[in-house]
Structure 1
Amino acid sequence: MTSAQKTRAAQPAAGRRGGSPPESAAGRPPAGRRRRTAALTPWLFLAAPLTLLVMFTYIPVADMIGYSLTDWDGISPTRSYVGGENYTDLVTRPARFEVFLVSGFYLAASFVQIALALYFATVLSFNTRFRNLFKGLLFFPYLINGVAVGFVFLYFFQPDGTLDTLLRLFGVEGEHLWLGDPDLANPSLAGVSVWRFMGLNMVLFLGAIQSIPPHLYEAAALDGANRWQQFRHIIVPGIKPVISLSFILAVSGSLAVFEIPYIMTGGANGTETFVIQTVKLAFQFDKVGLASASAVVLLILIVLITWVQRRLIPEERVELS
């Protein structure tokens, strides 16, 4: 071996013994810095949504709780601390909670809505002609602004209006005060909520149904199972968490109904809900402190009912194979 070859062979060995580190590790940061970067990266992505959540949810809730302990009228630059006086006023006036009876109409309507949404989601999950068209038609009402929905159905429910005209085609004569009769107003408004929100539940159910492995349907068909048996033994167990979530949203939503009855009747003729009552306390009677206490009570009720539902119907991990 020549002297030049010996020199070239000795250079890598010298680098391994104590020279410069290999090229692959030359630009790599220390292990401690990598761990800190890996721990910090998720928080960088969460910074913006967490900031918005704190600014527009938690801080307003904290302010609302603070207002509920005062007698602020919403206008005066000063407000006096009254402690739990607003809550005492609410508790000692049971009439303020009678409006929750109106929520019963919306709760019953939400069960009808869930049943219809589950039916249409099941039908459209199979090979149905024009199913994409029907999906769009059923989901479209949810995309419409609530104010627009209210004004459209104001004309729909007018005496001798669209609904009365349709009923006459089926032999039902006469004019009906759909929004003026206390016996008809709440069922009519609840029907509007079914029409508007059914598409949202249908999309939730449809997404859950499509996540079920297709081979289960094939195996069931080979065993001679019909559509009803596939729905009962495959679809319902497979989407049980989504169904329980829909019931939780139905109960909380029925307690917090606002825009449809507020726009269409303003709470008249026995259609006033707890939220409409709270809004009137704040902006009509200038009792922002009392209205804030009402809002806090509603928040506590919704959280409590949701917790009870989760205890009665615990979340289960569904594994279909």
Structure 2
Amino acid sequence: MKTGFDFARWFKGRKVQRFLVIFTFMAVPLLLLFVFTYLPFGEMVNFSFYNMRYTGTRTWVGLQNYIDVFRRDDCFGALKLSFYYMAGAVVQLMLALYFATLLSFRVRGGSFFKGAIFFPYLINGIAIGFIFKFFYTRGFVLDTVLGWCGFELDQLPFWLRDTNINNISLVATSVWRYMGQNMVLFIGAIMSVDGELYEASRLDGANRFQQFIHIILPNIRTIVMLNLILSITGSLSAFEPAYVITSGANGTATYFVLMDELAHVTQKVGLASAMAVVLLGMILLATLLQKLFFKYVFRSAEDEDKGAGARRERRLARYARRHKTGKGELRP
């Protein structure tokens, strides 16, 4: 009679075989993720502490690159420029939610308008950049259309050269391109809302605006938060409009455009790496603030009812404990 541990039987066991299958399928993706994502990210963080080029010697500078990100006028100006794109992201979400609410109900030609609004998202970003480069050029499409409306050419600004309006023009390009994507996500969320809620609200005399505030908005809160996070983080990473349309001239260089110039033109790799790490921190901070906002400020009526019910139960429990007699009965 054999005694001891039977390795062959243990190895062929159901739990071991299941673990090996799971590990085998996960090993290759995790290895690729580590090699092409986490390892380069770690190297980038390491580069951010050096004054270096792609080739040649490195000089340890510690946190000096991070200090320069906020001290240099070009870097800090690019950071401030991100607020233009953040504001554009909020406008974009508001427009997308407005059109999604309209087109979620029966509207004549609704399918055509959905496709027309979503179509810009399908166009390549470089192509959109060239389209709007000619659209904003002096005397071209936009100026011609405004001329038909009665404006004189001399009264119109230089849309891409005037520093008071050129960044707004570029932000409008991003709003036009990405609004359709957000609209489609909102439509999908709105269509999943139970139709009986609309019928009950109509019986109570609610109009469309009241339905939007009390039914649609609370039920699509998760999608609103997701779109807001994606839009804000995307605005911090804006690159194509400024790079293609203006090449970052006249104060339009976004954070990514400046980072690209520092890394690939002047080869200040350490400073560009520090800028990338700072951008990651800003994105994480923006995501955290948005989650806190939606958790504590933008609560649905259902959450409030649950909270009120829980507080009522706790008060009743405290009342019962205070007025309980020695025999376990409530005093009158």
TM-score scaled by structure 2?
A: 0.79
Relative to structure 2, which stretch is displaced further, 65-74 or 88-97? 88-97
Question: Which residue does the alignment assign to 1:111?
Answer: 90
Q: Distance in 2 between matches of 1:317 and 1:47?
A: 41
Q: Distance in 1 between matches of 2:36 and 2:102?
A: 40
User: Are 1:165 and 2:144 an aligned pair?
Assistant: yes
**Offset, 1:176:** 3.4
SS at match of 2:295: coil
Gaps of 5+ in 1: 1-28
Is 1:146 aligned with 2:160?
no
Shift of 1:276: 1.5
Deviates more, 1:243-252 or 1:139-148: 243-252
In structure 2, stretches of 5+ residues that fail to align are: 1-8, 304-332
Which digits, 9 at most, give the CA deviation of each residue in 1:291-319, with x for residues without a partner?
11111111112112222222232297997
- Tell me by how many angstroms 1:141 deviates: 0.9
* Residue 290 of structure 2: aligned partner: 309
For the pair shown, the structure with the greater C-alpha radius of gyration is 1
Contact residue 282 and residue 291 of structure 1 kept, 8 A: yes
Matched, 1:60 2:40: yes
Question: How do 1:195-206 and structure 2 match up within 5 A?
Answer: 195-206=176-187
Alignment partners' CA distance in 2, 1:210 and 1:44: 40
The more displaced of 158-167 and 126-135 is 126-135
Q: Is the 8 A contact 2:218 2:300 kept in 1?
A: no
Looking at structure 2, the residues matched to 169 and 84 of structure 1 have their Cα atoms a distance apart, in angstroms, of: 56
Instruction: Answer yes or no: is 1:285 the counterpart of 2:270.
Output: no
Provide the C-alpha distance between the structure 2 equivalents of 1:170 and 1:237, rounded to a whole number of angstroms: 42
Q: CA deviation at 1:153?
A: 0.4
Q: Which amino acid aligns with 2:102?
A: V
Q: How far apart, in 1, do the equivalents of 2:107 and 2:129 lie?
A: 32
1:203/1:46 Cα in 2 relative to 1: closer, same or farther (>3 Å)?
farther
The equivalent of 1:72 in structure 2 is 52
The answer to whether the aligner puts 1:137 opposite 2:116 as a matched pair is yes
Would the alpha carbon gap of residues 79 and 199 (structure 1) be closer, same or farther in structure 2, given more than 3 Å must change? same
Question: Hey, what's the Cα distance between the residues in 2 that align with 1:152 and 1:51?
Answer: 41
- Against the structure 1 CA distance between its residues 317 and 119, is the aligned structure 2 distance closer, same or farther, given a 3 Å change threshold? closer
For 2:165, what is the secondary structure of its paired residue?
Answer: helix
Q: Does the 8 Å CA contact 1:164/1:176 hold for their aligned counterparts?
A: no
Identity level (%): 47
CA-to-aligned-CA distance 1:242-289 (integer Å, 9 cap, x gap): 212222223222222111111111111111222222111111211111
CA distance in 2, matches of 1:141, 1:135: 11
Specify the code of the residue in structure 1 equivalent to 2:39. Answer: I
CA contact (8 A) 1:160 1:176 kept: no
AA of the residue aligned to 1:151: F
User: In 1, distance between residues paired with 2:208 and 2:260?
Assistant: 48
> Deviation of residue 137 (structure 1)?
1.5
How far 1:170 moved relative to its partner?
1.7
Q: Report the RMSD for the aligned CA atoms in angstroms.
A: 2.6
Structure 1 counterpart of 2:214: 233
> Is 1:98–2:81 an aligned residue pair?
no
What secondary structure, in the 3-state scheme, does the structure 1 residue paired with 2:161 have? Answer: coil
- Aligned residue for 1:221, secondary structure, equals helix
Q: CA deviation at 1:205?
A: 0.8
The yes-or-no answer on 1:155 pairing with 2:134 is yes
How big is the shift at 1:63? Answer: 1.6
Q: 1:249 — aligned with what? A: 230
Q: How much has 1:133 moved relative to structure 2?
A: 2.3
Query: 2-side partners of 1:57 and 1:212: how far apart?
Result: 38
Give the TM-score, by structure 1 length: 0.82
